Amino acid sequence: MSVPAETLRHEPQALVTMTPMDMLARAVQSGADLDMIEKLMNLQERWEASNARKAFDEAVAAAKADIPVIVKNASSHNNKYADFAAIARAVDPVLSRHGIRYRFRTEQTDKTISVTCVLTHKDGHAEENTLTGPVDATVGKNPIQAIGSTLTYLQRYSLVQALGLAASNDDDGAAAVAGGVISLEQVEQLLALADEVEADKEAFCRYFKVDGIAQLKAKDFDRAIAALNKKRSAK
C-alpha cells in the first residue's frame, strides 16, 4: 500500500536562534566544566553590552529627531546663546520619552574645572563627554560666582555636544514658530497624537519631508494635525 504524498511532506523547520544565555543554560544542564561556563558568561556579557549600545544609538538618534530647535534666549557681550534652562526645557521631556537621562560629574583643580556629561539609556549603555575650562575671571564676580559661572557654561556645552544639538539663531520663540519650525508645545502635541492613533512616525516624517517631527515647518502644523486626526477617524 502506497503512502499518500501529503503525509510525506514536512513543513520546513524554522531556524531557532540561540542566545548566549540559552547556550549557557544548556552547558550547565549538560555538566560543562567551569572554563566553558566562564567563556559563555563572558560571551553573554558582550552580547548584552552590544545590544545595549545599539539601543542607546537608536534612542539618541530618535530623540534628536524629536528635539525642537533650541532658541537663543540669553545674551552676553552682544552674543546670543541658549542658557541651560532653555536647553533643559527642550530636551528633558524628549529624552525621558526615549529612555535617556543625563547627569554631570565635576572635577576641579586650582586653575581649571572639568565637567563630564554622562548620557545613560534605560538598557544600561552610557557614554561620556568631558569639557575643561578655566575658572571664570570676569570682573565683579566673587570666587563662588566664578565657579558657578564656569560650571553652568561647561554643563551647557557638554550636554549640547553629547547630543549633537544646535541652537537657533532666532531671537525668540515667536520668530521660530512664525518663519521656521514648530514650537516645543506643538512637538509635544503631535507626538502625543501620533502615539494615540498609533501612527508610523517614520512614514509621517517622510510624507512631510522632514528628518523628525521637531523639524516640521510651522506652516504645516495644522495639516499634520488634520492628517493624524483623519487616521484616528479611520480606526
Grid cell 556579557 is found at: 45
Model-wide pTM > 0.85: no
Give the residue from 118, 115, 86 showing the smallest Cα distance to 183. Answer: 86
* 7 belongs to a structural domain: no
Instruction: Looking at the structure, tell me whether residues 79 and 146 fall in a common domain.
Output: yes
156 and 79 in a single domain? The answer is yes
The helix (run of H) or strand (run of E) holding residue 130 is: strand 126-134
Alpha-carbon gap, residue 230 to 217, rounded angstroms: 20
- Residues 162 and 84 occupy one common structural domain: yes
> What mean pLDDT comes out for the span 12-20?
59
For residue range 148-173, list pLDDT tens digits in order. 888 988 999 899 889 988 654 444 33
Domain assignment present for 96: yes
Segments forming the whole domain that contains residue 151: 70-168
Nearest to 108 by CA among 146, 158, 160, 139: 146
Residue 111 domain flag: yes
Q: Stretch 207-213: mean pLDDT, rounded? A: 82
* Span 109-132, pLDDT tens digits: 888 899 999 999 999 999 999 988
Do 128 and 43 share a structural domain?
Answer: no
Q: Do 107 and 129 have their domain in common?
A: yes
Counting the structural domains of the chain, the total is 3
